[in-house]
Amino acid sequence: MGDEFGDYVSEFVNSTMTSLINDTLVENGPVVGATDPATLGYCGSGLKAFGDGYRGIHGYTSLVVCLFGCFANILNLIVLTRKEMINPTNAILTGLALADLLNMIEYMPYAVYMNYLTHRKTYGWALFVLTHSNFSQVCHTISIWLTVTLAVWRYIMVAMPLKSKTLCTMERSNKSGTPATTSAPVNATSTAAGQNGGAAEDKYIVNLSDLANDNPFLMTTNFWLYSVVIKIIPCIMLTVVSLRLINSLMEAKKRKDKLLAKRTGAANPAARNNNGVGGGHEPREQESGGSDRTTRMLLAVLLLFLITEFPQGLLGLLSGLLGDSFFKNCYIPLADLMDFFALLNSAINFILYCVMSKKFRETFVQVFHLNRLLKLRKQHRGANHHLISSPTTTRQLLSSSDAKEQTAV
């Protein structure tokens, strides 16, 4: 019995326990360790070796990212829900931060158990894995479609500024998350309906149902649903909208430059002397600069999303086209790494907000009362600078030094 349990634990450790954030599949058997030469033709043994090597550190890296991401997204929620930060764009960003936060909170127990605790195939653990696979899929799907909504929203504001006042309202912003929230569970039903708990000597695993095993078409449909609906289509939409957004920004900048040149040329010298170049349009220029910074921030978020999500969608699509061999020998070895990048994407939006949004930084400093520390730091620097550079202080120090020398003589 002891040998059987030892073999069982070894098999469990080497079995496929891949989370992919939105499509966990737990299968009994050494899928990742498959070394059949007939099935290694797609990607070779090198990719399998890479996957086995990275799996050893994935638990540590993913846990660090999740801890940082939870803390960062909590800060995002605190700042974005302040009264002065409430606007349609930030409402979508708030929903995005909440979905990412729930995703990482749920992922941490999975990472801890898989890397730090003794593996026992209990019914409770099998139930958690089943819940993990679907809950994380729902949260990540919501995050994906909110990102798409955010891109479309910003494009409307930049390309159609007059219409955006009626289209991009707070009411519409709050309703924009409804399709993503309601469609995400539908996308998860294919996974939920295709998995159940199987028991052998009081040991439980999450596996495919008999219906799925007897109908390979269902598995192929699941791959297509995952790769096309959840990954490929959002990536294509984001790419198109991002390119249109960049083009609109360039055209808007050209129009602003021409308008500013005309106003500067038409302004009389007295007006320029009193108001500076541009005849007193500095507030409008500052507003324009803030809008450009916001758009650059959103473009950075979208670019990071494309880098993270498109490879998963492409590999999932190829798995549906090429079959189980490609999935086992190409998709699975990269699953943990793609998992890590998806978590990283959910965690570093806080850094982007701080770097690219002046309003976010100002509100963050105000909410956490960091302005007092900044003032004390500036005062301390100013006092040191005054002490070093003040002529009066320098003369006093020199005269005091001369007096001491004369006394000593």
Given CATH 1.20.1070.10, say whether it is the number of domain 2-28+45-376: yes
Instruction: Report which listed range, 119-128, 233-242, 275-284, is most confident.
Output: 233-242
* Cα–Cα dist 409/407, whole Å: 5
Question: Which of the two residues, 293 and 268, has the higher pLDDT score?
Answer: 293
Q: In this predicted model, what pLDDT tens digit does every residue of 46-56 receive, in sequence order?
A: 888 888 899 88
Instruction: Look at residue 186 in the predicted model and tell me its pLDDT.
Output: 52
Give the pLDDT band (50/70/90) at residue 193.
very low
Instruction: Look at residue 73 in the predicted model and tell me its pLDDT.
Output: 93
When pLDDT is averaged across residues 369-379 and rounded to a whole number, the result is 73
The structure tokens 């009994």 sit at 28
Q: In this predicted model, what pLDDT tens digit does every residue of 379-391 receive, in sequence order?
A: 666 555 554 444 4
Q: In this predicted model, what pLDDT tens digit does every residue of 134-176 receive, in sequence order?
A: 888 888 888 888 888 888 888 888 888 888 788 888 877 777 6
Instruction: Look at residue 377 in the predicted model and tell me its pLDDT.
Output: 67
Instruction: Look at residue 259 in the predicted model and tell me its pLDDT.
Output: 85
Instruction: Look at residue 392 in the predicted model and tell me its pLDDT.
Output: 45
Instruction: Look at residue 383 in the predicted model and tell me its pLDDT.
Output: 56
Instruction: Look at residue 104 in the predicted model and tell me its pLDDT.
Output: 93
* Cα–Cα dist 396/401, whole Å: 8
User: Of the given ranges (44-48, 159-163, 203-207, 364-368), which has the lowest mean pLDDT?
Assistant: 203-207
Give the pLDDT band (50/70/90) at residue 321.
confident
Give the pLDDT band (50/70/90) at residue 268.
low
Q: What three-state secondary structure class fits 42? A: coil
Q: Are 52 and 32 in contact (CB under 8 A)?
A: yes
When pLDDT is averaged across residues 185-190 and rounded to a whole number, the result is 50
DSSP-assigned letter for residue 21: T
User: Of the given ranges (153-167, 178-192, 229-243, 257-271), which has the lowest mean pLDDT?
Assistant: 178-192
Instruction: Look at residue 205 in the predicted model and tell me its pLDDT.
Output: 72
* Cα–Cα dist 147/92, whole Å: 8
Domain ranges (residues) in the chain:
2-28+45-376
Instruction: Look at residue 75 in the predicted model and tell me its pLDDT.
Output: 92
Provide CB contacts within 8 A for 212, sequence distance 6+. Answer: 194, 218, 219
Question: Which of the two residues, 297 and 405, has the higher pLDDT score?
Answer: 297
Q: In this predicted model, what pLDDT tens digit does every residue of 76-116 receive, in sequence order?
A: 999 999 998 988 888 888 999 999 999 999 999 888 887 77
* Cα–Cα dist 392/386, whole Å: 10
Q: Are 125 and 109 in contact (CB under 8 A)?
A: no
Provide CB contacts within 8 A for 337, sequence distance 6+. Answer: 51, 54, 58
Sign of the CA dihedral running 276, 279, 284, 290: negative
pTM value is 0.70
